Structure 1
Amino acid sequence: MTPITHKPSLEQVDPPRSPRETLPTMYDLPSENPQEPGVPDVFHDLQPQLLSSSLRLREYSRENWFTASDLNLYYDVNHPLWYKRPDWFLAVDVPHLYEGEDLRRSYVVWQEGKNPYVMIEFLSPGTEMEDLGRFYDQTAQVTNPASSTAAANPVESDPKNNSEQPITAPPTSPTKLEVYERYLRVPHYLVYSRHTQRLRYFKLDGGQYQEQPLNANNPIVWLADLEIGLGIWQGVFEAVPGFWLRWCDQEGNWLLTDAEQSQVQLLQAARNLLETGMAMEQVAQLLGLSAAQIEDYCKGKLIL
């Protein structure tokens, strides 16, 4: 755990110094909390990897965006020790490395100068009420057969929005939904349940999140300002079959990870060698591929 240090007091000036000059940096703030539990399952580890490795942004170079998962995000200049740990987020117009030279220990908005642009949370019974806030629907909750945590919490009516809200003790800091909506004003907020394969999309409109309708049979979220889509892909990632969130283009074609792109290049090389008359067995041995992989690729049956 990173020790908390304090900057030496600075002489007051008019106008006042900026938070970047006066508040703690990522080197001063804790990067971890030993009392916090780890990720609830392997999905929470693998899914962020797939999101980050398949992301391609047409308007931004790879050195000009940053993605992270389960990283402390410090967001409030009035409470510099308050933080959230998003399951996955994207910030654009920031260097891939902190100030172009160092790996980030945390994401400190008053140092970065940019708030995250896309937030994604993976729902689980222990977090869904905080992740969804006023959009939480107890009748359609994330159902994990082994858990009834969410159902065990009583609810009461909130006259302000006429929706059911859990009765909880006043938080020390705001909930995730409140932070993303009111403090950070993140334009795109998405939540996904691997248990129900349900994707929900909340778009910031007039300072508040409005849920956007999705096709239940083929839920694809198109983020027009980033020129990229997000949908649910059924496939195998890191030897684990499942229903995964994955980026796609406007036609719905899934974007490849770096590893998959390398694999496709090998398969294209195999096809070129076959066209020269080289035997299948020789091509497969030369490129370290199986004959079945090469045959599937040549027949257009390549499965990611």
Structure 2
Amino acid sequence: MTTTRRPTTRRPTTRRPAPGAPARRRAGSLLLTSALALALAVVAVPFGWLVVAATHSSREIFDSPPPVLPGGRLAENLAALETAAGFGRVVLNSLVNATLYTLLAGAVCTLAGYGFATYRFKGRDALFALVMLGLVVPAQVTLVPLFTMMADLRWLDTPQAVILPHLALPFGIFLMRQSMAALPAELLDSGRMDGCGELRLFWRVALPPMRPALAALAVFLFLYQWNDFVWPLIVLRDGASFTIPVALASLQGLDETDYGAILAGTSVAAIPMALVFLALQRHFVSGLLAGAVKE
């Protein structure tokens, strides 16, 4: 008589966490939270003190200990700033210059990035390497040749002298080239087969998927022009055409400096930068990472 052995079914075993794993996770989470809180304090405390100091006089700013609560001189500081530098006009100059530069430089960088990413022509890699060489060349090297060009064109003290020389920004071209390189070649080929012209192909097919990269580029270009100091300082001479950094620097005197007015102007200058970043922050990180991973 033979006996059949029934197959034994093993119950699935659940892997138990290693001893001390929850405690390590809690410790890691606590460490990460502490590091983020410290980074937030490093960024927020100076900005908070800037806003507080903008509401005090120069004498109160240098008191020991310094003020930690808002004062009541914000209106007086802004009035002094308007009297000394015509700050309303200066803010308008910076807004116009930064907006026009963002639009024009964004168009140039996007078209150049599209060309480098999608077209194959003789000398393309050498030309792109030449553009990337601009990332390592100090900007101070080009100041004298650019100033000579602006003087020959009689563009000194004009908005075009501030905006036009830096439209083809190497970082912007690199960012858009990396983003455009992620476009499938089949998508562009199908558009050409359907009779799409090159400009229409760029506008209708290539550009819509690039919205995150365009948002990141817009934030970078706007902040670049808004904060630029050295080049506007060189080509702008009349106070009526000053931008915010140049106007604030002109308020520093040899004998007396109204730091309350300067810090009030700095606080006002930070508002558009914060608004632009908050408006586009959803696309900013994804735009910077576009093209970083190649499938």
Q: Compare the two structures and name the one with the higher strand fraction.
A: 1
Larger Rg: 2
Q: Choose between structure 1 and 2 for higher RCO, CA contacts under 8 A separated by at least 6 residues.
A: 2
**TM-score normalised by L of structure 1:** 0.22
**TM-score normalised by L of structure 2:** 0.23
